[in-house]
Structure 1
Amino acid sequence: MEKVRPLGETSPLKIFINDANTFLAQAIIEEIRNDHQAFDSDTLNSHKIVATITDRENAKPPSGITKIIAKNKKKAVYSSILTSDIVIFDINFGSTEDVDSIVKFLKEQQNGIPKPITLIILSSVMSWSGTDPKEPKNKEIVDNSEDEDMTAEERERLMTTDFIDEDYLTRMPSTRFANLKYIENLVLQLPKFQPLITSYIVCTGILYGNGERTLYEHFRKAWTGTTLPLLGEGNNRLPTIHVQDAAKLIKKIIYDKPNYPYILAVDEGKCTQKQIVEALSQGKEKRISQVDILEVYSEEWSDYLNIDIAMRPSKLFDSSFQWTCRDGLCKHIGLIFDQFSSFRGLNPIRISIFGPPKAGKTKLAKALKKLLQIPRLNLREVFDLAKKSQSQIVKKIQQKENEIKDKFVEEQLAAKKKPADIDKDKIQVKFPDRTVGEVVRFVLKSQLYKTKGLIYDNFPKSEKQAKRLFYSIKGENDHDDDEGFFNQLEHAKVHLKKLPNVIIHLRCSREASSQRFRIQQQESGENNNNITEAEFERRMNDYENNYHGLVDFYRDMKDSTVKIVEIDTMGKKLDDIYRIAKDQVFQYYKFLDYLYVSEDNEKALIEKLQKQEELRVREEQIQKKLQQEQALKLQQQLALQKGSASGPGQENRRVNSRLQKIDEKKHFLLDTKSLPIRQYLLDKIIPTLTKGIMEMTDKLEFEKVTEEEIFNGTNFFEGDFLDHLIRVFEMKGDEFREEYLEAQRKKELEKELERKKSDKGKGEDSDDYEEESPDEVDASNA
């Protein structure tokens, strides 16, 4: 295949990307941008990338964008699209409404578009979510095909049960994702209206890689060691693709301009949901829990992990395509974990705990392991893990162990001990620092320790052991002796990725350690599995002789940021020591605050929720008290109205009675004011309007009216219909005005008669007269 020249080598491209800060669009921009290459080149021209930004994503716009246009500036967006060479819309994570409006805009360009445009829509495998399994084509039909140029690979593609590019017409979405197929079809039909537009639908599998998006919760739980959910049995097939591979495919479409509009962007992994979850859990079945789809229906990932579709990568993934993860997520889980940690800033947590015997080192290490869900290793466990491996290191360990035991037996025999008294299996072997360093480095090659880190439980114990562990020299086999090794440390390689970042030194006096040792001896009694007093003294002496040099070693390390935490354990309980250590670890690894929910955080959260609940209850009590007070005031007012007719109570009764009458009259006046208007419309306007319409329709011959004329809105009347109605109202106008004025005169006469009768009645019944309130007077006049 002819090598494709870099984009922009002959002329720069103008590329428009909608929602440029989505998970997929960011990877595409990083793939197609060439501004950093064009800066140092005389022939390469940089692309002009114009973009819009969505508020749905928290991510910032990626670098490489030339110009950002606000989405609400429609004219600027449309103008930029019409002048672009490449237009990319992401409906996987972006907006489908934007594509709908753009397609309608392009269709409405009656004079055509000014230049050819390649329109690429990034869709999702969810547009296939309701598709039934594919039935394989009959082999005889394929063999008898008239296409003589069909290769064996193409014949095999047609016979497979995996969906291929050509099967896109059979796709069916679930109800929730029906809009995806609608937008896809809308874009596929666009070239019929605008021939200068070439449209492509890129149907991406479940995207993974970089900082993760759809599978973020699964990666987060895998990183923290919490239980991973598995929908049902998990045997459903999930089409997937690395986000970088999807971005490379978009670049290839821009290069090659294939002649088929629908492209399946999936890898060759063909992993089931169970295989993916097991890969994330790193083979630990205890961290997997089966859940029902209804339990996690609100989770964004639930729909994606519930599909069951077998797909084959597009023909565009040819032999020249440079895959990032060709074989899928499961085969490259280590790489994907590294990317997740790197993009999310999740550095491996490496902690070293050391101190005198009985200072609480192992208990603290176990507590931090439970909190952080990272492995804890002591030297015994390191050697046990190495012995379980099938590698050359096992032979080296056994050889060195036998040498040490044989030497011990020779020394015992030289001391004139009987051979029968010597049990080689019970001899405790202390390996030299060189062997310890070699074995530890071998064990730490595991992906688990590279990704998550570990807790060094009481090792290294000395400066020499630390140097043997974190330094290595090429050809170290020639330096079995310490002198030959330490003389060449200037040329040694420093294993910074194994070096602990937080050093916790538990300090304790010799007297306090001895007291704790004796207490444990007394408590254990006959079932004493503890060390002997001689062994305790030996370990105490080793600590006192070596800890100064070990602390200085960590402080003098170059190219590394090491935090040394000194904790005085005198008079402190284990809980206090744990809290101090935890706070120091969380201060160093800032990301732990949002990645982990510790027991303390849970307690704080519970306390916060309890305070919120108490505040809510208090507010409800206050509100209830106010309601009770208002109800009490209302009862007092009612009591005043129903009070006795004598004394001050009668005055209150008169006031309340007047207020009630005023209120009743106000409502009555509102009704009487609105009644003439309604009545006027019913009596005058509606009958006249009906009469005018009837006059026009009487002149119309309905039997001559066709359906086409009705559909097209043809005017069947002589002249304008509205003009006729106006003329009818003008003819009746004078009549309406005379009737209206007559009615008003009648009302005035009636009011005058009522006023005279009222004045006469007041003169006769002066004993029962009560002065009207100003409101009553105004109301009656009104």
Structure 2
Amino acid sequence: MASTQDDGDKPKSKRLFVNQVDQFQGKNLAKYLSRCAVGASLEEPEEEDDAKSTDSFIPPPKEGCYEIVGTTKERGQNAVKPECVKELVNCDVIVYDITADPDQIDEAVWAVSELHSDLDKIEKPKMFILISSVMTWAKSKPLDPDDPEIPFTEDDYRRRKPHPNFKEHISAEKTVIKMGKTNKNKLVTYVVASGLTYGAEEEIFHYLFKSAWHNAPELLCFGNGRNVVPTIHIKDLAGVIQNIADSRPKVRYLIAKDDSNNTLEELVKAVSSNLGTGKVKDITKEEALLNKEIEQSDFDMLLVDLRMDAVNVKENMRISWVSEAGMMENISAIIKEYKDTRNLHPLRVCIIGPPAVGKTTTINQLCEHYKLHHIKLKDVIDEAMENLTTTARRADSEDQEEDEGKAQDAQELLDTINEGMKENNNRVEDQYVLRFMRDKLLSMPCQNQGFILDGFPKTMDQAKELFQAEDDDEPEEAAKGGSFNKLIMPEFIVSLEATDEFLKNRIMNLPESQVVDTHNTEEGLVRRLEAYRSINTEDETILNYFDELEFHPIRIDVTKDLSPMMKVTVGKLKAHIGKARNYGPTLEELEQQRRAAEEELQRLEQQARLERERQEAEEAAERKKRQEEWTQQLNDVKREEYEKLEAESIPLRNYLMKHVMPTLTQGLIQCCKVRPDDAIDYLAEYLFQQNPQVD
């Protein structure tokens, strides 16, 4: 589609090509530019630019905005040219990014060469913008050996020396600049040396954000961390591209980076302090190569040491900066953008109910499914007391001054708590319990992944105190009035309900081993049930507190759940809570799942084989049994027939012995004596003569 302008009042749109729009940089550049009106950067912005939004949804192109076309990385491996060659020819602006995928270098050079070879056929002016890397400056000699902190600017681009692994990049830069000098009225070319990009879902710095979000004890910093890393927010890089496309600057080589000159260690510490534990560990490059979370090709960029100043961008371009001061100064907003883009919002749940109703059984399964932290009151108190004791031990050490008095404060608090416990039946007072609980819920692990509260708070007063907004917080106002701390207020309130009789029967049916040394004795259960019912009457219950704030509880009657491990209840809660908000299974967990699936398949195959063998053995035994029975029956029939014949032959034999055999025997004997010529005739004549019945 060519550029159009129907009426004088309607804005003119342009087609803009971006390569690999399914990758980090291409996707975010396309998203940003598709929402930019052509020529908007030439005018003073009246309001804050829409493009600052962190929304991951790309709305349909508005009238007068850049119309984006492009290639994707996932396409035919043998393709030499982009898939959208026709679109490339018809585009007004072609943007090629070669920073992330070296395979794109040849394609970019091919694209600009094709445009250059078709200058005679080009009717409308074309603009080609190559996004390259500051790594083509990595080995440049300092402008002043005595003052290495003097930054490079665009004016020094002819002195740049590339990193050994980026020689093809600098060759592509030179080709692009050269192609744009032939006929500037038809083809103008630009090269943008981009700093390491950050923002959105993150790319090269993703290993830092992901490790911190997963509560790694320390974030890894490669080398000594003192190298200065040029950086720019991905949306600010898109803003530079927008300005080039709109204004056609005279300078053909530009540096795109923010105003920061942060070291790698500063960047790692900023992420660790605001998203993780705050701890950083320096490791060698050899050690870093063992990290599976980062590509080997990224090490060179992270270890670059360059001071640069984007003079032309700052002085001649109108950019609605997202992060002009740099990643470190805007780390809070960048972390929020990272969480929003990847949907890494903490999942907060509170499950309450009478003792022995199955809270812990249910929570354990939900925590495993959603990768959440199981918050039990006893564990929180024990952990807090242990931390106070550990901190207090440093009170007499030599580094107490560096501790800023924390050890002394911890010892004083510990003494106060211990004194109160003596007067309170060895229980920690509510004010300290709530303080420990609030600190736990505000900790980075709970704020990153989320948590499930196990049976706490127990009373309305505890709930009001625990969830009340702090003075320095931004309280969230509920629909019916009242405020709360939105960072720790549970989104889902679950009330597991059952009658006292059901609970007592459940405890009575437990094995002895599960009851010994626990509260789940009959006497203990009765006492705890009475305490629970006394503070949760029909008129006054902790659920009322959440109802007033428009957090309506999910009520589940567990007496109807007869499934093992309360699977039905867990299934209902999963349906209410919805999908998980995390990275999903790790590589190790996926490998474990794969192995478990293979083992289960082998088990099923073995079970099927054994079952098949058992059935075959049974069938063979059955056949043998039937054969033996048939043979036995056949023998019995033969015997019965023989006995029958024997029985039937006795009268005949007796008859023959009495009436026939005597005369016949005598006849045969006489025949033998005489030996007549015709023995048969002689015998017949003899029998006839000897017949006793013949007169």
Cα offset, 1:168, TM superposition = 3.5
Alignment deviations for residues 656-697 of structure 1 (CA, whole Å, 9 cap, x no partner): xxxxxxxxxxxxxxxxxxxxxxxxxxxxxxxxxxxxxxxxxx
SS of equivalent residue, structure 2 residue 488: coil
The percentage of aligned residue pairs carrying the same residue is 20
Report if the CA contact (8 A) 2:173-2:191 is conserved.
yes
Report if the CA contact (8 A) 1:24-1:247 is conserved.
no
SS of equivalent residue, structure 1 residue 460: coil
SS of equivalent residue, structure 1 residue 193: coil
Alpha-carbon distance in 1 for matches of 2:554, 2:404: 36
Q: Which runs of 5+ in 1 are unaligned?
A: 1-7, 59-69, 140-155, 409-421, 477-487, 618-782
Alpha-carbon distance in 2 for matches of 1:599, 1:586: 27
Q: What letter matches 1:193 in structure 2?
A: T
Alpha-carbon distance in 1 for matches of 2:572, 2:592: 15
Q: Does 1:454 align with 2:451?
A: yes
The one of 106, 120, 135 aligned to 2:115: 106
The one of 271, 274, 292 aligned to 1:279: 271
Aligned to 2:191: 201
Q: Does 1:499 align with 2:489?
A: yes
The one of 81, 87, 94 aligned to 2:94: 87
Alignment deviations for residues 472-498 of structure 1 (CA, whole Å, 9 cap, x no partner): 69999xxxxxxxxxxx99322355553
Cα 1:313–1:503 shift into 2, 3 Å: farther
The one of 500, 504, 521 aligned to 1:511: 504
Cα offset, 1:222, TM superposition = 3.7
Alpha-carbon distance in 1 for matches of 2:211, 2:605: 33
Report if the CA contact (8 A) 2:15-2:66 is conserved.
yes
Report if the CA contact (8 A) 1:437-1:470 is conserved.
no
Alignment deviations for residues 257-309 of structure 1 (CA, whole Å, 9 cap, x no partner): 54433333233152316852783571265999878479559876332234322
Alpha-carbon distance in 1 for matches of 2:296, 2:14: 38
Alpha-carbon distance in 1 for matches of 2:472, 2:326: 38
Q: What letter matches 1:271 in structure 2?
A: T
Report if the CA contact (8 A) 1:463-1:550 is conserved.
yes
Q: Does 1:17 align with 2:17?
A: yes
Alpha-carbon distance in 1 for matches of 2:472, 2:443: 23
Q: What letter matches 1:122 in structure 2?
A: I
Q: Does 1:544 align with 2:542?
A: no
Alpha-carbon distance in 2 for matches of 1:430, 1:207: 50
Aligned to 1:66: none
Q: Does 1:270 align with 2:249?
A: no
Report if the CA contact (8 A) 1:126-1:304 is conserved.
no
Alpha-carbon distance in 1 for matches of 2:269, 2:166: 24
The one of 123, 136, 160 aligned to 2:132: 123
Aligned to 2:430: 431
Cα 1:174–1:309 shift into 2, 3 Å: closer
Alpha-carbon distance in 1 for matches of 2:513, 2:326: 54
Alignment deviations for residues 723-781 of structure 1 (CA, whole Å, 9 cap, x no partner): xxxxxxxxxxxxxxxxxxxxxxxxxxxxxxxxxxxxxxxxxxxxxxxxxxxxxxxxxxx
Report if the CA contact (8 A) 2:18-2:95 is conserved.
yes
Q: What do you get for the CA RMSD once the two structures are aligned?
A: 5.7
Alpha-carbon distance in 2 for matches of 1:566, 1:224: 35
Alpha-carbon distance in 1 for matches of 2:261, 2:369: 35
Alpha-carbon distance in 1 for matches of 2:82, 2:110: 12
What TM-score do the two structures reach when normalised by structure 2?
A: 0.59
Aligned to 1:355: 353
Q: Which has the higher helix share?
A: 1
Cα offset, 1:314, TM superposition = 1.0
What does residue range 56-205 of structure 1 map to in structure 2 within 5 Å?
A: 56=73, 72=83, 74-78=85-89, 80-81=90-91, 84=92, 86-93=93-100, 95-111=104-120, 113-128=122-137, 131-132=138-139, 134-137=141-144, 160=149, 162-173=151-162, 177-196=166-185, 197-205=187-195
Alignment deviations for residues 340-385 of structure 1 (CA, whole Å, 9 cap, x no partner): 2211223312122333446675687677667755444455748959
Report if the CA contact (8 A) 2:230-2:262 is conserved.
yes
Cα offset, 1:558, TM superposition = 7.4
Alpha-carbon distance in 1 for matches of 2:604, 2:175: 53
Q: What letter matches 1:315 in structure 2?
A: V
Q: Which runs of 5+ in 2 are unaligned?
A: 1-7, 47-61, 76-80, 392-402, 607-695
What TM-score do the two structures reach when normalised by structure 1?
A: 0.54
Report if the CA contact (8 A) 1:350-1:500 is conserved.
yes
Aligned to 1:324: 322
Q: Does 1:50 align with 2:61?
A: no
Q: What letter matches 1:14 in structure 2?
A: K
Aligned to 2:242: 251
SS of equivalent residue, structure 1 residue 335: helix
Report if the CA contact (8 A) 2:561-2:568 is conserved.
no
SS of equivalent residue, structure 2 residue 268: helix
Q: What letter matches 1:337 in structure 2?
A: I
Report if the CA contact (8 A) 1:353-1:458 is conserved.
yes
SS of equivalent residue, structure 2 residue 532: helix
Aligned to 1:609: 598
Cα offset, 1:100, TM superposition = 1.9
Q: What letter matches 2:189 in structure 1?
A: S
Report if the CA contact (8 A) 1:503-1:563 is conserved.
yes
Cα offset, 1:137, TM superposition = 0.9
SS of equivalent residue, structure 1 residue 180: helix
Report if the CA contact (8 A) 1:365-1:455 is conserved.
yes
Q: What letter matches 2:25 in structure 1?
A: L
Report if the CA contact (8 A) 2:17-2:94 is conserved.
yes
SS of equivalent residue, structure 2 residue 142: coil
Report if the CA contact (8 A) 2:139-2:163 is conserved.
no
Aligned to 2:54: none
Cα offset, 1:210, TM superposition = 1.1
Cα offset, 1:325, TM superposition = 3.0
Aligned to 1:304: 298
Alpha-carbon distance in 2 for matches of 1:286, 1:512: 53
Choose 534-543 or 307-316, whichever is displaced more.
534-543
What does residue range 453-602 of structure 1 map to in structure 2 within 5 Å?
A: 453-463=450-460, 465-466=462-463, 469-470=466-467, 490-493=480-483, 495=485, 498-503=488-493, 505=495, 509-511=502-504, 523-524=516-517, 539-546=528-535, 553=544, 556=547, 576=565, 581=570, 584-585=573-574, 588-591=577-580, 595-597=584-586
Q: What letter matches 2:277 in structure 1?
A: G
SS of equivalent residue, structure 1 residue 491: coil
Report if the CA contact (8 A) 2:215-2:445 is conserved.
no
Alpha-carbon distance in 1 for matches of 2:39, 2:528: 60
What does residue range 204-243 of structure 1 map to in structure 2 within 5 Å?
A: 204-216=194-206, 218-225=208-215, 230=220, 233=223, 235=225, 237=227, 238-243=229-234
SS of equivalent residue, structure 2 residue 311: coil
Alpha-carbon distance in 1 for matches of 2:441, 2:541: 21
Cα offset, 1:187, TM superposition = 0.9
Q: What letter matches 2:14 in structure 1?
A: K
SS of equivalent residue, structure 1 residue 213: coil
Alpha-carbon distance in 2 for matches of 1:578, 1:615: 23
Alpha-carbon distance in 1 for matches of 2:325, 2:39: 30
Report if the CA contact (8 A) 2:349-2:493 is conserved.
yes
Report if the CA contact (8 A) 1:211-1:344 is conserved.
yes
Alpha-carbon distance in 2 for matches of 1:374, 1:124: 40
What does residue range 727-766 of structure 1 map to in structure 2 within 5 Å?
A: none
Aligned to 2:339: 341
Aligned to 1:27: 28
Q: What letter matches 1:92 in structure 2?
A: T
Report if the CA contact (8 A) 2:181-2:188 is conserved.
no
Cα 1:92–1:47 shift into 2, 3 Å: farther
